[in-house]
Amino acid sequence: MSHFQFQTVANIISGVGSIQELKNILAHKYQKALIVTDAGMIQHSLHLPLLEILEQSQLEYEIYSEVQADPAESIVLSAVEFAKQRNVDVVIGFGGGSSMDVAKLIAILANPKQTQTIQEIYGVNNAQGPRLPLILIPTTAGTGSEVTPISIVTTGETTKTGIVAPILYADVAILDATFTTGLPAHITAATGIDAMVHAIEAYTSKIKKNFYADMLAKQALKLLNKNLKLVLEDGSNLEARQNMLLGSMLAGQAFANAPVGAVHALAYPLGGHFHLSHGHTNALVLLEILKFNAPEAKTHYAELMQWLNPYSKGCTEGLCDLFIDHIQSHLDNSGLTLKLRDLNVQEHQLETLANDAMLQTRLLQNNPRAMQQEDALKIYQSIY
CA-closest candidate to residue 246, choices 183, 192, 287: 192
Q: Are 50 and 95 in contact, with CB atoms under 8 Å apart?
A: no
As a whole number, mean pLDDT of residues 42-61 equals 95
User: Is 310 among the domain residues?
Assistant: yes
Residue 358 has pLDDT above 90, yes or no: yes
CATH number at residue 300: 1.20.1090.10
Give per-residue pLDDT as tens, 320-345. Answer: 999 999 999 999 999 999 999 999 99
pLDDT-derived band at 3 (thresholds 50, 70, 90) equals: confident
- Do 247 and 300 belong to one domain? yes
End-to-end CA distance of the chain: 43
As a whole number, mean pLDDT of residues 288-305 equals 98
Residue 7 has pLDDT above 60, yes or no: yes
Residue 69 has pLDDT above 80, yes or no: yes
CA distances in angstroms from 112 to 88, 126, 171, 172, 232, listed in the order given: 10, 18, 18, 21, 44
As a whole number, mean pLDDT of residues 354-380 equals 97
Number of CB atoms found within 10 A of residue 11's CB = 12
Q: Could you tell me whether strands 160-164 and 150-154 are parallel, antiparallel, or unpaired per DSSP bridges?
A: antiparallel
- Do 166 and 51 belong to one domain? yes
Which of 125, 144, 179 is the C-terminal boundary of a domain? 179
What is the three-state SS of the chain?
CCCCCCCCCCEEEECCCHHHHHHHHHCCCCCEEEEEEEHHHHHCCCCHHHHHHHHHCCCEEEEEEEECCCCEHHHHHHHHHHHHHCCCCEEEEEECHHHHHHHHHHHHHCCCCCCCCHHHHCEECCCCCCCCCEEEEECCCCCCHHHCCEEEEECCCCCEEEEECHHHCCCEEEECHHHCCCCCHHHHHHHHHHHHHHHHHHHCCCCCCCHHHHHHHHHHHHHHHHHHHHHHHCCCCHHHHHHHHHHHHHHHHHHHHCCCCHHHHHHHHHHHHHCCCHHHHHHHHHHHHHHHHHHHHHHHHHHHHHHHCCCCCCCHHHHHHHHHHHHHHHHHHCCCCCCHHHHCCCHHHHHHHHHHHCCCHHHHCCCCCCCCHHHHHHHHHHCC
User: Is 283 among the domain residues?
Assistant: yes
As a whole number, mean pLDDT of residues 44-69 equals 95
- Do 118 and 213 belong to one domain? no
Main-chain dihedrals φ then ψ at residue 238, nearest 5 degrees: -65, -35
Distance CA 292, CA 318 (A): 16
CA-closest candidate to residue 355, choices 329, 380, 319, 330: 380
How many C-alpha atoms does 142 have within 13 Å on its Cβ side?
Answer: 25
- Do 46 and 83 belong to one domain? yes
- Do 166 and 196 belong to one domain? no
- Do 237 and 122 belong to one domain? no
- Do 23 and 40 belong to one domain? yes
Residue 142 has pLDDT above 60, yes or no: yes
Give per-residue pLDDT as tens, 156-195. Answer: 878 889 999 999 999 999 999 999 998 999 999 999 999 9
pLDDT for position 28: 87
As a whole number, mean pLDDT of residues 30-58 equals 96
User: Is 70 among the domain residues?
Assistant: yes
Distance CA 359, CA 352 (A): 11
pLDDT for position 1: 57
Which of 128, 157, 179 is the C-terminal boundary of a domain? 179
To the nearest 10°, report the CA torsion of 260, 377, 278, 365: 20
As a whole number, mean pLDDT of residues 72-98 equals 97
- Do 39 and 171 belong to one domain? yes
Give per-residue pLDDT as tens, 231-277. Answer: 999 999 999 999 999 999 999 999 999 999 999 999 999 999 998 99
pLDDT for position 17: 96
To the nearest 10°, report the CA torsion of 11, 192, 280, 35: -30
Which of 159, 179, 199 is the C-terminal boundary of a domain? 179
What residues make up the domain containing 159? Answer: 11-179
Q: What mean pLDDT, rounded, does the chain reach?
A: 96
- Do 81 and 197 belong to one domain? no
As a whole number, mean pLDDT of residues 209-238 equals 97
Structural domains in the chain (count): 2
User: Is 1 among the domain residues?
Assistant: no
